[in-house]
Protein backbone atom coordinates (compact mmCIF):
# COMPACT_ATOMS: atom_id res chain seq x y z
CA UNK A 1 0.00 0.00 0.00
CA UNK A 2 0.98 3.64 -0.39
CA UNK A 3 1.98 6.54 1.85
CA UNK A 4 -0.28 9.55 1.35
CA UNK A 5 0.30 13.14 2.43
CA UNK A 6 -2.58 15.60 2.76
CA UNK A 7 -1.55 19.25 2.99
CA UNK A 8 -4.24 21.35 4.72
CA UNK A 9 -3.82 24.87 6.16
CA UNK A 10 -5.69 24.33 9.44
CA UNK A 11 -6.58 21.47 11.73
CA UNK A 12 -10.21 22.59 11.79
CA UNK A 13 -10.41 22.33 7.99
CA UNK A 14 -8.97 18.82 8.12
CA UNK A 15 -11.42 17.73 10.82
CA UNK A 16 -14.41 19.29 9.09
CA UNK A 17 -13.74 18.15 5.53
CA UNK A 18 -10.96 15.59 5.15
CA UNK A 19 -10.86 13.31 8.19
CA UNK A 20 -13.41 10.98 6.58
CA UNK A 21 -11.24 10.67 3.47
CA UNK A 22 -8.22 9.89 5.66
CA UNK A 23 -10.14 7.27 7.64
CA UNK A 24 -11.28 5.48 4.46
CA UNK A 25 -7.73 5.59 3.04
CA UNK A 26 -6.35 4.11 6.28
CA UNK A 27 -9.05 1.44 6.14
CA UNK A 28 -7.89 0.58 2.62
CA UNK A 29 -4.41 -0.07 3.99
CA UNK A 30 -2.69 3.21 3.16
CA UNK A 31 -0.50 5.16 5.56
CA UNK A 32 -1.86 8.69 5.83
CA UNK A 33 0.08 11.76 6.93
CA UNK A 34 -1.45 15.22 7.38
CA UNK A 35 0.58 18.43 7.25
CA UNK A 36 -1.43 21.14 8.97
CA UNK A 37 -1.24 23.89 11.58
CA UNK A 38 -1.72 22.22 14.96
CA UNK A 39 -1.86 25.42 17.00
CA UNK A 40 -5.40 24.62 18.18
CA UNK A 41 -4.58 21.03 19.14
CA UNK A 42 -3.73 21.58 22.82
CA UNK A 43 -6.92 21.56 24.86
CA UNK A 44 -9.21 22.10 21.89
CA UNK A 45 -10.93 18.73 22.23
CA UNK A 46 -10.68 17.87 18.54
CA UNK A 47 -11.53 14.22 18.03
CA UNK A 48 -9.37 11.80 16.11
CA UNK A 49 -6.11 13.69 16.67
CA UNK A 50 -3.49 12.25 18.99
CA UNK A 51 -1.58 9.09 19.81
CA UNK A 52 -4.64 6.90 19.30
CA UNK A 53 -5.21 8.12 15.75
CA UNK A 54 -3.90 6.00 12.86
CA UNK A 55 -3.32 9.24 10.96
CA UNK A 56 0.09 10.85 11.49
CA UNK A 57 0.06 14.64 11.99
CA UNK A 58 2.84 17.12 11.29
CA UNK A 59 2.76 20.75 12.39
CA UNK A 60 3.37 23.32 9.66
CA UNK A 61 2.49 26.95 10.27
CA UNK A 62 0.56 27.96 7.19
CA UNK A 63 -0.02 31.72 7.05
CA UNK A 64 -3.32 33.49 6.60
CA UNK A 65 -3.02 36.17 3.96
CA UNK A 66 -0.16 36.95 1.58
CA UNK A 67 2.88 36.96 3.86
CA UNK A 68 5.88 36.05 1.65
CA UNK A 69 8.23 35.21 4.54
CA UNK A 70 5.65 33.02 6.25
CA UNK A 71 4.94 31.26 2.95
CA UNK A 72 8.64 30.50 2.49
CA UNK A 73 8.95 29.22 6.06
CA UNK A 74 5.99 26.90 5.55
CA UNK A 75 7.47 25.75 2.23
CA UNK A 76 10.78 24.88 3.89
CA UNK A 77 8.97 22.90 6.57
CA UNK A 78 6.96 21.03 3.97
CA UNK A 79 10.01 20.28 1.83
CA UNK A 80 11.78 18.80 4.86
CA UNK A 81 8.71 16.73 5.74
CA UNK A 82 8.45 15.27 2.25
CA UNK A 83 12.16 14.43 2.27
CA UNK A 84 11.73 12.73 5.64
CA UNK A 85 8.54 10.73 5.01
CA UNK A 86 8.94 9.99 1.28
CA UNK A 87 5.20 9.87 0.45
CA UNK A 88 3.95 8.23 -2.74
CA UNK A 89 1.23 10.83 -3.39
CA UNK A 90 0.65 14.38 -2.16
CA UNK A 91 -2.54 16.42 -2.30
CA UNK A 92 -2.83 20.06 -1.19
CA UNK A 93 -6.18 21.61 -0.26
CA UNK A 94 -7.12 25.28 -0.60
CA UNK A 95 -5.09 27.99 -2.33
CA UNK A 96 -2.59 28.66 0.47
CA UNK A 97 -1.62 25.01 0.79
CA UNK A 98 -1.37 24.73 -2.99
CA UNK A 99 0.99 27.72 -3.13
CA UNK A 100 3.14 26.38 -0.28
CA UNK A 101 3.36 23.00 -2.00
CA UNK A 102 4.30 24.70 -5.27
CA UNK A 103 7.06 26.66 -3.53
CA UNK A 104 8.34 23.56 -1.76
CA UNK A 105 8.17 21.07 -4.62
CA UNK A 106 11.41 19.65 -6.02
CA UNK A 107 12.09 17.34 -8.94
CA UNK A 108 12.35 14.43 -6.48
CA UNK A 109 8.73 14.79 -5.32
CA UNK A 110 6.06 12.22 -6.18
CA UNK A 111 2.87 13.11 -8.03
CA UNK A 112 1.44 16.22 -6.36
CA UNK A 113 -1.92 17.77 -7.12
CA UNK A 114 -4.20 20.28 -5.42
CA UNK A 115 -7.88 20.90 -4.95
CA UNK A 116 -8.91 24.56 -5.03
CA UNK A 117 -12.27 25.01 -3.33
CA UNK A 118 -12.85 28.27 -5.22
CA UNK A 119 -10.40 30.32 -7.25
CA UNK A 120 -9.62 33.52 -5.36
CA UNK A 121 -8.22 35.28 -8.42
CA UNK A 122 -11.61 35.51 -10.12
CA UNK A 123 -13.45 37.17 -7.24
CA UNK A 124 -10.86 39.10 -5.22
CA UNK A 125 -10.24 42.77 -5.87
CA UNK A 126 -7.23 45.09 -6.11
CA UNK A 127 -3.89 43.82 -4.85
CA UNK A 128 -5.52 40.72 -3.38
CA UNK A 129 -6.69 39.75 -6.85
CA UNK A 130 -3.20 40.15 -8.32
CA UNK A 131 -1.64 38.13 -5.48
CA UNK A 132 -4.23 35.37 -5.86
CA UNK A 133 -3.76 35.28 -9.65
CA UNK A 134 -0.01 34.87 -9.25
CA UNK A 135 -0.30 32.26 -6.50
CA UNK A 136 -2.88 30.10 -8.25
CA UNK A 137 -1.16 30.33 -11.63
CA UNK A 138 2.16 29.45 -10.00
CA UNK A 139 0.56 26.45 -8.26
CA UNK A 140 -0.72 25.10 -11.57
CA UNK A 141 2.68 25.66 -13.19
CA UNK A 142 4.55 23.72 -10.50
CA UNK A 143 2.09 20.99 -9.50
CA UNK A 144 0.95 18.02 -11.57
CA UNK A 145 -2.78 18.78 -11.60
CA UNK A 146 -5.29 21.28 -10.25
CA UNK A 147 -8.82 20.18 -9.34
CA UNK A 148 -11.65 22.73 -9.19
CA UNK A 149 -15.30 22.28 -8.26
CA UNK A 150 -17.39 24.37 -10.64
CA UNK A 151 -17.65 24.89 -14.36
CA UNK A 152 -16.88 28.59 -13.86
CA UNK A 153 -13.49 27.79 -12.35
CA UNK A 154 -12.80 24.98 -14.80
CA UNK A 155 -13.09 27.35 -17.76
CA UNK A 156 -10.42 29.53 -16.13
CA UNK A 157 -7.89 26.82 -15.26
CA UNK A 158 -8.43 25.04 -18.58
CA UNK A 159 -7.22 28.20 -20.29
CA UNK A 160 -4.13 28.20 -18.06
CA UNK A 161 -3.19 24.60 -18.82
CA UNK A 162 -5.76 22.17 -20.18
CA UNK A 163 -3.56 19.14 -19.53
CA UNK A 164 -3.47 19.82 -15.78
CA UNK A 165 -7.05 21.06 -15.31
CA UNK A 166 -9.48 18.72 -13.54
CA UNK A 167 -13.10 19.23 -12.47
CA UNK A 168 -14.71 17.20 -9.72
CA UNK A 169 -17.88 15.31 -10.44
CA UNK A 170 -18.56 15.27 -6.70
CA UNK A 171 -20.02 18.48 -5.23
CA UNK A 172 -17.01 19.68 -3.28
CA UNK A 173 -16.39 17.85 -0.03
CA UNK A 174 -20.06 16.92 0.32
CA UNK A 175 -21.45 16.29 3.77
CA UNK A 176 -22.08 13.42 6.17
CA UNK A 177 -25.63 12.25 5.56
CA UNK A 178 -25.57 10.16 8.73
CA UNK A 179 -24.98 13.33 10.75
CA UNK A 180 -27.37 15.54 8.77
CA UNK A 181 -30.42 13.31 8.84
CA UNK A 182 -33.74 15.03 9.61
CA UNK A 183 -35.14 11.64 10.60
CA UNK A 184 -32.99 11.81 13.72
CA UNK A 185 -35.02 14.74 15.05
CA UNK A 186 -38.70 14.33 15.93
CA UNK A 187 -41.27 17.06 15.43
CA UNK A 188 -42.22 16.90 19.10
CA UNK A 189 -38.58 17.31 20.10
CA UNK A 190 -38.25 20.24 17.70
CA UNK A 191 -41.28 21.98 19.22
CA UNK A 192 -40.05 21.34 22.75
CA UNK A 193 -36.58 22.73 22.03
CA UNK A 194 -37.96 25.83 20.31
CA UNK A 195 -40.24 26.42 23.29
CA UNK A 196 -37.24 26.15 25.65
CA UNK A 197 -35.56 28.89 23.59
CA UNK A 198 -38.63 31.10 23.91
CA UNK A 199 -39.63 30.82 20.25
CA UNK A 200 -43.35 31.21 19.63
CA UNK A 201 -45.09 28.73 17.34
CA UNK A 202 -45.79 31.41 14.72
CA UNK A 203 -42.21 32.71 14.65
CA UNK A 204 -39.76 31.80 11.89
CA UNK A 205 -36.15 30.98 12.73
CA UNK A 206 -33.65 32.20 10.15
CA UNK A 207 -30.26 30.51 10.46
CA UNK A 208 -26.89 31.77 9.24
CA UNK A 209 -23.92 29.37 9.36
CA UNK A 210 -20.43 30.60 8.52
CA UNK A 211 -17.77 33.12 9.35
CA UNK A 212 -19.24 36.46 10.37
CA UNK A 213 -17.67 38.23 7.40
CA UNK A 214 -19.09 40.75 4.95
CA UNK A 215 -18.04 38.73 1.89
CA UNK A 216 -20.05 35.82 3.31
CA UNK A 217 -23.11 38.06 3.35
CA UNK A 218 -23.29 38.32 7.14
CA UNK A 219 -24.01 42.06 7.20
CA UNK A 220 -26.76 41.57 4.59
CA UNK A 221 -28.39 38.87 6.68
CA UNK A 222 -28.40 41.05 9.80
CA UNK A 223 -29.77 44.03 7.89
CA UNK A 224 -32.45 41.88 6.24
CA UNK A 225 -33.44 40.49 9.65
CA UNK A 226 -33.81 44.03 11.03
CA UNK A 227 -35.80 45.00 7.95
CA UNK A 228 -38.20 42.13 8.57
CA UNK A 229 -38.55 42.99 12.25
CA UNK A 230 -39.33 46.59 11.30
CA UNK A 231 -42.09 45.33 8.99
CA UNK A 232 -43.56 43.31 11.86
CA UNK A 233 -42.61 39.94 10.38
CA UNK A 234 -42.24 37.41 13.27
CA UNK A 235 -38.64 36.22 12.78
CA UNK A 236 -35.77 35.15 15.01
CA UNK A 237 -32.11 35.04 13.90
CA UNK A 238 -29.85 32.12 14.79
CA UNK A 239 -26.13 32.71 14.10
CA UNK A 240 -23.55 29.90 14.07
CA UNK A 241 -20.04 31.15 13.43
CA UNK A 242 -17.38 33.54 14.68
CA UNK A 243 -15.88 36.86 13.68
CA UNK A 244 -12.79 36.70 11.45
CA UNK A 245 -9.81 38.91 12.27
CA UNK A 246 -8.76 38.89 8.61
CA UNK A 247 -12.12 39.89 7.13
CA UNK A 248 -14.47 42.66 8.33
CA UNK A 249 -18.00 41.76 9.35
CA UNK A 250 -19.54 44.77 7.63
CA UNK A 251 -21.09 45.93 10.90
CA UNK A 252 -20.03 48.79 13.16
CA UNK A 253 -19.11 48.18 16.80
CA UNK A 254 -22.42 49.75 17.81
CA UNK A 255 -24.36 47.44 15.47
CA UNK A 256 -22.52 44.40 16.83
CA UNK A 257 -23.34 45.48 20.40
CA UNK A 258 -27.02 45.86 19.48
CA UNK A 259 -27.01 42.46 17.80
CA UNK A 260 -25.53 40.73 20.83
CA UNK A 261 -28.15 42.35 23.04
CA UNK A 262 -31.13 41.63 20.79
CA UNK A 263 -33.43 39.15 22.57
CA UNK A 264 -34.58 37.77 19.21
CA UNK A 265 -31.02 36.90 18.16
CA UNK A 266 -29.09 33.85 19.33
CA UNK A 267 -25.33 34.03 18.64
CA UNK A 268 -23.82 30.63 19.42
CA UNK A 269 -20.34 30.80 17.90
CA UNK A 270 -19.05 27.64 16.24
CA UNK A 271 -21.04 24.54 17.15
CA UNK A 272 -19.91 20.92 16.93
CA UNK A 273 -23.42 19.71 16.12
CA UNK A 274 -24.79 22.04 13.44
CA UNK A 275 -27.57 19.57 12.58
CA UNK A 276 -29.37 20.05 15.90
CA UNK A 277 -29.68 23.78 15.20
CA UNK A 278 -30.71 23.28 11.59
CA UNK A 279 -33.44 20.98 12.91
CA UNK A 280 -34.94 23.97 14.75
CA UNK A 281 -34.70 26.35 11.79
CA UNK A 282 -37.19 27.26 9.08
CA UNK A 283 -34.96 28.97 6.50
CA UNK A 284 -31.22 29.21 5.92
CA UNK A 285 -30.02 32.59 4.67
CA UNK A 286 -26.53 32.71 3.17
CA UNK A 287 -25.96 35.39 0.48
CA UNK A 288 -22.21 34.82 0.11
CA UNK A 289 -20.25 36.51 -2.67
CA UNK A 290 -17.22 34.19 -2.65
CA UNK A 291 -17.58 30.44 -2.28
CA UNK A 292 -16.16 27.27 -3.70
CA UNK A 293 -18.94 24.78 -3.02
CA UNK A 294 -20.49 25.76 0.33
CA UNK A 295 -20.86 22.77 2.63
CA UNK A 296 -23.12 24.77 4.95
CA UNK A 297 -25.76 24.92 2.21
CA UNK A 298 -25.51 21.19 1.53
CA UNK A 299 -25.97 20.54 5.24
CA UNK A 300 -29.03 22.81 5.39
CA UNK A 301 -30.65 21.12 2.39
CA UNK A 302 -29.90 17.64 3.73
CA UNK A 303 -31.76 18.68 6.89
CA UNK A 304 -34.66 19.87 4.76
CA UNK A 305 -34.12 23.58 5.44
CA UNK A 306 -34.83 25.68 2.32
CA UNK A 307 -32.12 28.19 1.45
CA UNK A 308 -32.14 31.84 0.39
CA UNK A 309 -28.80 32.57 -1.27
CA UNK A 310 -27.06 34.66 -3.89
CA UNK A 311 -26.43 33.93 -7.55
CA UNK A 312 -22.71 33.41 -6.93
CA UNK A 313 -20.30 30.62 -7.78
CA UNK A 314 -20.91 27.55 -5.68
CA UNK A 315 -24.16 28.81 -4.13
CA UNK A 316 -26.02 28.51 -7.42
CA UNK A 317 -24.39 25.10 -7.96
CA UNK A 318 -25.86 23.74 -4.71
CA UNK A 319 -29.30 25.37 -4.47
CA UNK A 320 -31.96 24.74 -7.13
CA UNK A 321 -33.92 27.93 -7.58
CA UNK A 322 -37.62 27.47 -6.88
CA UNK A 323 -37.11 23.81 -5.99
CA UNK A 324 -35.24 23.73 -2.68
CA UNK A 325 -34.55 27.41 -2.22
CA UNK A 326 -34.23 30.81 -3.85
CA UNK A 327 -31.14 31.98 -5.75
CA UNK A 328 -31.29 35.78 -5.84
CA UNK A 329 -29.80 37.71 -8.75
CA UNK A 330 -30.09 40.80 -6.60
CA UNK A 331 -28.91 39.80 -3.13
CA UNK A 332 -29.17 43.18 -1.43
CA UNK A 333 -30.48 43.12 2.13
CA UNK A 334 -33.80 44.51 0.91
CA UNK A 335 -34.14 41.75 -1.70
CA UNK A 336 -33.28 39.13 0.91
CA UNK A 337 -35.94 40.50 3.25
CA UNK A 338 -38.49 40.50 0.40
CA UNK A 339 -37.61 36.90 -0.50
CA UNK A 340 -37.96 35.71 3.10
CA UNK A 341 -41.27 37.55 3.55
CA UNK A 342 -42.55 36.05 0.30
CA UNK A 343 -41.71 32.52 1.44
CA UNK A 344 -43.34 33.06 4.81
CA UNK A 345 -46.49 34.19 2.99
CA UNK A 346 -46.52 30.91 1.03
CA UNK A 347 -46.01 28.12 3.59
CA UNK A 348 -47.05 25.46 1.06
CA UNK A 349 -44.06 26.49 -1.09
CA UNK A 350 -41.71 26.24 1.89
CA UNK A 351 -43.06 22.78 2.64
CA UNK A 352 -42.56 21.72 -0.97
CA UNK A 353 -38.98 23.02 -0.89
CA UNK A 354 -38.44 21.15 2.38
CA UNK A 355 -39.49 17.86 0.78
CA UNK A 356 -37.49 18.51 -2.42
CA UNK A 357 -34.35 19.28 -0.40
CA UNK A 358 -34.55 15.99 1.47
CA UNK A 359 -35.33 14.03 -1.70
CA UNK A 360 -32.23 15.46 -3.41
CA UNK A 361 -29.78 15.08 -0.54
CA UNK A 362 -28.06 11.88 -1.80
CA UNK A 363 -26.12 13.91 -4.36
CA UNK A 364 -24.29 15.63 -1.48
CA UNK A 365 -23.10 12.43 0.22
CA UNK A 366 -19.41 12.85 1.12
CA UNK A 367 -18.71 9.34 -0.14
CA UNK A 368 -18.83 10.72 -3.71
CA UNK A 369 -15.84 12.98 -2.98
CA UNK A 370 -13.96 10.20 -1.20
CA UNK A 371 -14.57 7.62 -3.93
CA UNK A 372 -13.63 10.02 -6.73
CA UNK A 373 -10.35 11.13 -5.16
CA UNK A 374 -9.32 7.63 -4.09
CA UNK A 375 -9.99 6.37 -7.62
CA UNK A 376 -7.92 9.20 -9.12
CA UNK A 377 -5.12 8.45 -6.66
CA UNK A 378 -5.13 4.75 -7.54
CA UNK A 379 -4.73 5.63 -11.22
CA UNK A 380 -1.67 7.75 -10.40
CA UNK A 381 -0.13 5.10 -8.15
CA UNK A 382 -0.63 2.39 -10.77
CA UNK A 383 1.59 4.22 -13.28
Residue (of 199, 256, 245) closest to 223 by Cα position: 256
User: In this model, does residue 171 exceed pLDDT 70?
Assistant: yes
Q: Considering only the top CATH level, what class is 3-174+366-382? A: alpha beta
The three-state secondary structure class of 149 is coil
What distance, in Å, lies between the first and last C-alpha atoms of the chain?
Answer: 14
Specify the CATH architecture of the domain 182-364.
3-Layer(aba) Sandwich (3.40)
Note whether 3-174+366-382 and 182-364 share their fold: yes
Average pLDDT over residues 354-372: 98
**Domains of the chain: which residue ranges?**
3-174+366-382, 182-364
Task: Find all residues with CB under 8 Å of 369, minimum gap 6, and list them.
Answer: 21, 168, 170, 171, 172, 173, 174
Residue (of 308, 302, 373) closest to 338 by Cα position: 308
Gap between the Cα atoms of 119 and 290, Å rounded? 9
Cβ-contact 64, 95 below 8 angstroms? no
Per-residue DSSP letters for 77-117?
Answer: HHHHHHHHH--SEEEEESHHHHHHHHHH--TT--EEEEE-S
Gap between the Cα atoms of 76 and 55, Å rounded? 22
Q: In the prediction, which pLDDT does 52 show?
A: 65
Gap between the Cα atoms of 155 and 148, Å rounded? 10
Which residues share a beta bridge with 273?
none
User: In this model, does residue 48 exceed pLDDT 50?
Assistant: no
Q: DSSP label at 16?
A: I
Q: 315-320 long-range CB contacts below 8 Å, 24 or more apart?
A: 315/286, 315/287, 315/288, 315/291, 317/149, 317/150, 317/171, 317/293, 318/171, 318/293, 318/294, 318/364, 320/356, 320/360
Give ∠ CA 212-270-198 in degrees, rounded to 5. 95
Q: In the prediction, which pLDDT does 50 show?
A: 54
Write down the pTM of the prediction: 0.93
pLDDT tens digits along 205-252: 999 999 999 999 999 999 999 999 999 999 999 999 999 988 899 999
Q: In the prediction, which pLDDT does 42 show?
A: 40
The three-state secondary structure class of 156 is helix
Cβ-contact 98, 76 below 8 angstroms? no
User: In this model, does residue 35 exceed pLDDT 70?
Assistant: yes
Q: In the prediction, which pLDDT does 67 show?
A: 82
User: In this model, does residue 196 exceed pLDDT 90?
Assistant: yes
Measured over the CA atoms of residue 197, residue 336, residue 339 and residue 361, the dihedral's sign is negative
Task: Find all residues with CB under 8 Å of 166, minimum gap 6, and list them.
Answer: 113, 145, 146, 147, 148, 376
Amino acid sequence: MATLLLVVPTLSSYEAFLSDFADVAVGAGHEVHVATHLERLTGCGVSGVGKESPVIFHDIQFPRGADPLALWRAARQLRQLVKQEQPDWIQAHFSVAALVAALAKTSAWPYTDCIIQGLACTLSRGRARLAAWFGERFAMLRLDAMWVLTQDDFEVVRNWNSSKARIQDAPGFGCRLDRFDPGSYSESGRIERRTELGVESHECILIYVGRLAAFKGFEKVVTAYRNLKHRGVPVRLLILGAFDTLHPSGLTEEEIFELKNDSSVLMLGWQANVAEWLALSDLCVFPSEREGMPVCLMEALCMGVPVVTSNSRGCRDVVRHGIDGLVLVNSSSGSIADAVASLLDTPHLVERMHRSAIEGCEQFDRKHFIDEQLAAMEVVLAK
